[in-house]
Amino acid sequence: MSCLVFDIETSALPKEQLDEGRLEYLFRPAEKMLDEAAKAQRREEIDMQFNLWPFTAQCVCICLMNADTGRGKVLFISDDFEEASDGPVEYVACMDESDLLDQFWKLSTKYDKICTFNGRSFDVPFLYLRSAVLNVPISRKDWLGYRFQVEPHCDLAEQFTFYNVSGWTGAARRFNLDFYCKAFGIESPKAEGVTGMDVNDLMAEGRYREIAEYCVRDVVATTRLYEIWRERLAGIR
Give the pLDDT mean for 211-237. 96
Q: Are residues 164 and 224 in the same domain?
A: yes
Q: What is the DSSP string of the chain?
A: --EEEEEEEEEEPPGGGS-HHHHHHHHHHHHT-SSHHHHHHHHHHHHHGGGGSTTTEEEEEEEEEETTT--EEEEEE-S----EEETTEEEEEESSHHHHHHHHHHHHTT-SEEEESSIIIIIHHHHHHHHHHHTPPPS---TTS-SS--SSEEEHHHHTTTTTTTTTTSTT----HHHHHHHTTPPPTTTTS--GGGHHHHHHTT-HHHHHHHHHHHHHHHHHHHHHHHHHTTT--
Q: Is residue 180 part of a domain?
A: yes
- Per-residue confidence (pLDDT) for residue 221, from 0 to 100: 97
CATH of the domain at 70: 3.30.420.10
- pLDDT, tens only, 150-164: 999 999 999 999 999
Number of structural domains in the chain: 2
Establish whether the linkage from the previous residue to 152 is cis, with ω within 30° of 0.
yes
Q: Are residues 69 and 130 in the same domain?
A: yes
- Per-residue confidence (pLDDT) for residue 208, from 0 to 100: 95
- Per-residue confidence (pLDDT) for residue 82, from 0 to 100: 66
Q: Are residues 110 and 33 in the same domain?
A: no
| CB-based contact 102:136 (threshold 8 Å) | yes
- pLDDT, tens only, 105-128: 999 999 999 999 999 999 999 999
Q: Are residues 46 and 98 in the same domain?
A: no
| CB-based contact 114:152 (threshold 8 Å) | yes
The length of the chain, given as a count of residues = 237
Q: Are residues 95 and 195 in the same domain?
A: yes
Q: Are strands 57-66 and 72-77 parallel, antiparallel or unpaired?
A: antiparallel
pLDDT beyond 70 at 169? yes
Enumerate the β-bridge partners of residue 63.
7, 74
- Per-residue confidence (pLDDT) for residue 120, from 0 to 100: 97
Q: Are residues 24 and 100 in the same domain?
A: no
pLDDT beyond 90 at 79? no
d(CA 149, CA 38): 42
Residue 46 sits in which domain range? Answer: 19-55
| CB-based contact 65:215 (threshold 8 Å) | no
- pLDDT, tens only, 44-78: 999 999 999 999 999 999 999 999 999 999 999 99
pLDDT, mean over the chain: 94
- pLDDT, tens only, 27-43: 999 988 888 898 899 99
- Per-residue confidence (pLDDT) for residue 102, from 0 to 100: 98
Q: How confident is the model at residue 136 (pLDDT cuts 50, 70, 90)?
A: very high
Q: Are residues 31 and 77 in the same domain?
A: no
Percent of the chain with pLDDT over 90: 84
Give the pLDDT mean for 132-155. 95
Question: Which of 41, 61, 50 has its CA nearest to residue 18?
Answer: 50
